[in-house]
Chain A
Amino acid sequence: MKKITTVILLTLLTFLLSGCWSKRELNELAIAVALGVDKTDDNYEVSVQIVDPGQISSKQPASGRAPVITYTAQGKTVFEAIRKITNSSPRKPYFSHLQVVVIGEKLASEGIEPTIDFLARDHEIRNDFNIIVANKTTAKEVLNVLTPIEKIPAQKISSSIQNSEKAWGSTLTVNIDDLITTLRSNENSPVLTAIEVIGDPKLGIDQTNVERIKTPVILEFSGLAVFKQDKFVGVLTDDESKSYNFLNDNVESTIEVISCPKEGRLSTEITKSKTKIKGKIVNGIPKLTVHIEIDQNVGEVDCTINLAEKETIQMINEKTSNLIKEKTEQVLNTIQKNYQVDNLGFSEVLHRADPKEWKKIKEDWATIFPELEVNVKVNVRTLGVGTIHNSISQQSKE
Chain B
Amino acid sequence: MSSSKNNHNDTSQPTSNSTKHLLNPSLAQNIKTIKRAVGNSNDIIIREILIGKSEKQPIAIVYTDGLADKTAITDFIMESLMLDFDEPFESKSEAVNQYLKDTCLPVGDVKDIGDFPTLFNSILNGETVILLDGVTKGIATSTKSSKDRAITEPSTESVIRGPKESFTETLRTNTALIRRKIKNPNLWIKSRVIGKVTQTDIAVMYINGIANEKIVKEVLNRLDSIDIDSILESGYIEALIQDSKYTIFPTIYNSERPDVISAELLEGKVAIFVDGTPFVLIVPALLTSFLQSSEDYYQNFIISSLIRFLRFFGISISLIVPSLYVSITTFHQEMLPTAMLISLASQREGVPFPAFVEALIMEIAFEILREAGLRMPRTIGPAVSIVGTLVIGQAAVEAGIVSAVMVIIVALTAICSFLFPAYGLSNTIRVLRFPLMFLAAGFGLFGVIIGVMALILHLCSLRSFGVPYMSPFAPIIPDDQKDALVLFPRGSLLTRPRLVSKSNTIRGHKHLKNENNN
Contacts and interface: CB of A to CB of B under 8 A. Distances in A.
Interface of A: 14-15, 18, 20, 22-27, 29, 31, 33, 51, 53-54, 56-57, 59-60, 94, 96-97, 99, 124, 126, 152, 155
Contacts of B344: 26
Contacts of A54: 346, 349
Interface stretch (B138-146, B174-182, B334-342): B334-342
A334 B39 CA distance: 117
A24 B347 CA distance: 16
B330 A24 contact: yes
B399 to A, nearest CB: 16
Interface string B277-301: 0000000000000000000000000
Given A23-B444, A56-B342, A97-B338, 15 more contacts: A20-B354, A20-B356, A24-B330, A24-B333, A25-B329, A25-B354, A26-B345, A27-B345, A27-B348, A27-B350, A33-B338, A53-B342, A59-B346, A60-B346, A97-B341
A97 B334 contact: yes
A20 B440 CA distance: 9
Nearest to A67: B342
Given A26-B355, A96-B333, A97-B334, A53 B441 contact: no
A20 B342 contact: no
* Most chain A CB inside 10 Å of its own CB: which residue of B338, B342, B346: B342
B57 interface: no
B215 to A, nearest CB: 30
B438 A15 contact: yes
Nearest to A123: B334
Contacts of B346: 53-54, 56-57, 59-60
Closest 3 CB pairs of A and B: A96-B334, A53-B346, A57-B346
Contacts of B350: 27
A333 B331 CA distance: 52
28 contacts: A20-B354, A20-B441, A20-B442, A22-B331, A23-B330, A23-B441, A24-B331, A24-B333, A25-B355, A26-B330, A26-B341, A26-B344, A26-B348, A27-B345, A27-B348, A27-B349, A27-B351, A31-B345, A53-B343, A53-B345, A53-B346, A54-B349, A56-B343, A57-B346, A96-B334, A99-B338, A126-B334, A155-B338
B381 to A, nearest CB: 33
B443 interface: yes
B452 to A, nearest CB: 16
A31 B342 contact: yes
* Most chain A CB inside 10 Å of its own CB: which residue of B334, B343, B345, B349: B345
Contacts of A124: 334
B329 A31 contact: no
B442 A29 contact: no
Nearest to A58: B343
Contacts of A155: 338
A14 B446 CA distance: 13
Contacts of A33: 338
Given A57-B346, A57-B347, A97-B341, A26 B329 contact: yes
A96 B348 CA distance: 19
A15 B348 contact: no
Nearest to B358: A25
Contacts of A53: 342-343, 345-346, 349
A29 B342 CA distance: 10
Contacts of A23: 330-331, 354, 441, 444
* Most chain B CB inside 10 Å of its own CB: which residue of A15, A26, A53: A26
A54 B342 CA distance: 8
Interface residues of B, number: 25
Interface in B405-457: 438, 441-444
Nearest to B246: A4
Contacts of B329: 25-26
A90 to B, nearest CB: 12
Nearest to B350: A27
Contacts of B438: 15
Contacts of A57: 342-343, 346-347
B217 to A, nearest CB: 32
A51 B442 contact: no
A33 B339 CA distance: 11
B389 to A, nearest CB: 20
A18 B330 CA distance: 14
A156 B329 CA distance: 25
A14 to B, nearest CB: 7
Contacts of A14: 442
Interface in B341-392: 341-351, 354-356
Contact of B345 (A15, A20, A29): A29
Nearest to B438: A15
A51 B342 contact: yes
Contacts of B338: 31, 33, 97, 99, 155
Contacts of A99: 338
Nearest to A18: B442
Nearest to B329: A26
A147 to B, nearest CB: 16
B296 to A, nearest CB: 39
B450 to A, nearest CB: 10
Contact of A94 (B333, B443, B444): B333
B191 to A, nearest CB: 38
A14 B443 CA distance: 9
Contacts of A29: 333, 345
A57 B341 CA distance: 11
B437 to A, nearest CB: 11
A27 B354 CA distance: 9
* Most chain A CB inside 10 Å of its own CB: which residue of B330, B344, B346, B351: B346
B448 to A, nearest CB: 14
Nearest to A16: B442
A222 to B, nearest CB: 26
* Most chain B CB inside 10 Å of its own CB: which residue of A23, A24, A96: A23
A161 to B, nearest CB: 15
Contacts of B333: 24, 26, 29, 94, 96-97
Contact of A20 (B330, B334, B343, B349): B330
B412 to A, nearest CB: 19
Contacts of B354: 20, 23, 25
A22 B446 CA distance: 13
Contacts of A20: 330, 354, 356, 441-442
B15 to A, nearest CB: 39
Contacts of A24: 330-331, 333
B329 to A, nearest CB: 5
A60 to B, nearest CB: 7
Interface string B15-41: 000000000000000000000000000
Nearest to B328: A26
Contacts of B348: 25-27
A50 to B, nearest CB: 11
A267 B330 CA distance: 53
A317 B432 CA distance: 68
* Most chain A CB inside 10 Å of its own CB: which residue of B338, B350, B354, B356: B338
Nearest to B336: A97
Contacts of B351: 27
Contacts of B343: 53, 56-57
B127 to A, nearest CB: 48
B47 to A, nearest CB: 58
Contacts of B349: 27, 53-54
A33 B342 CA distance: 11
Nearest to A12: B438
